[in-house]
Amino acid sequence: MTTHRFSFQNHSVATNSVEIPERFAISSAPVPVVSAPATPIEPVALEAVAPNAISVPQYYEAKYAYPLIVWLQPAGCRAPDLKQIMPVLSERNYFGTVSRLAFSIGNPLSAFSLGERQPGASPVPWNWAADLRRDVLHVRRNFHIHSERIYLAGIGAGASAAIQMLLEKPEWFAGAIALDPDLELAKISVRNIRELGDKRLFTTAVMPNPELNDLERLCFGAGVEVTHKNYPTELSLHRKVLLDVDRWLMSEICQPQMV
């Protein structure tokens, strides 16, 4: 029988497969939350406009298949600055790129149409999946990227977008890094949640977010490895969270492989 794991800090709880409710009937079991030690927090800068570049690991080895982190930038949001974020995350372990999304922070999830018109959306349907696929393929054409280690990432509205994109196209990604997502369950499509399988989700929250906790429980029930952390700061992005993301990513990369 397949066993799924819900990891947090240096401890994990094993559970058998959980049946997913058809609607949002959330389990009463609490989602474990990790409170990081009260260490000095160093903010990480954001740029007004996304850098039109790819972050290449130091001492790039063409024979090694690297993980790729795709940072999502909704319209109207400041972009993650790859020049500052990726060296803190790791100078050698990952590629990074920014994918601009053509929807605004005011209603970030209304444009997830996959070509289908949604109420309140633009008269011209917009296929975000094609745009994101284009950005990922651009990196893969030029560098050696591990096809099963492509992670979505975002901050705020970008984090909400990362969660939604993972739910919409679970076969494309290994997981999502959602830093302080501002989401509403009513705007999240969970039609593919049963297909998440062994995907991974790393989340943080500056303020208590019951709807994020509910979504984490649903993902956990679908077999997702969910890791949630809180930090003693009001900053969504800082050095400590990036170091924890690095450890979280490497824990999967370095685990023994079944042969």
> What pLDDT was estimated at residue 43?
59
Domain residue extents for the chain: 3-10+30-253
Read off the pLDDT of residues 138-155 as tens digits, 9 standing for 90 and up.
999 999 999 999 999 999
Q: pTM to 2 decimals?
A: 0.74
Q: Which two tokens stand for residue 93?
A: 């372990």
Superfamily of domain 3-10+30-253: Alpha/Beta hydrolase fold, catalytic domain (3.40.50.1820)
Helix, strand, coil % in the chain, rounded to nearest 5: 25, 25, 45
Contacts with 110 (C-beta within 8 Å, 6 or more apart), sequence order: 103, 118, 119, 120, 121, 187
CB 92 within 8 A of CB 67: no
- Strand ranges (E), 112-250: 145-155, 175-179, 200-204, 225-230
Contacts with 235 (C-beta within 8 Å, 6 or more apart), sequence order: 41, 43, 206
Return the H-helix or E-strand segment holding 34.
Answer: strand 34-35
In the predicted model, what is the mean pLDDT of residues 82-97? 93
Return the H-helix or E-strand segment holding 216.
Answer: helix 210-221
Percent of the chain whose pLDDT exceeds 70: 68
In the predicted model, what is the mean pLDDT of residues 201-220? 91
Q: Which residue has the tokens 């997502």?
A: 181
pLDDT at 259 over 70: no
- Between 107 and 8, residue with greater pLDDT: 107
> What pLDDT was estimated at residue 127?
66
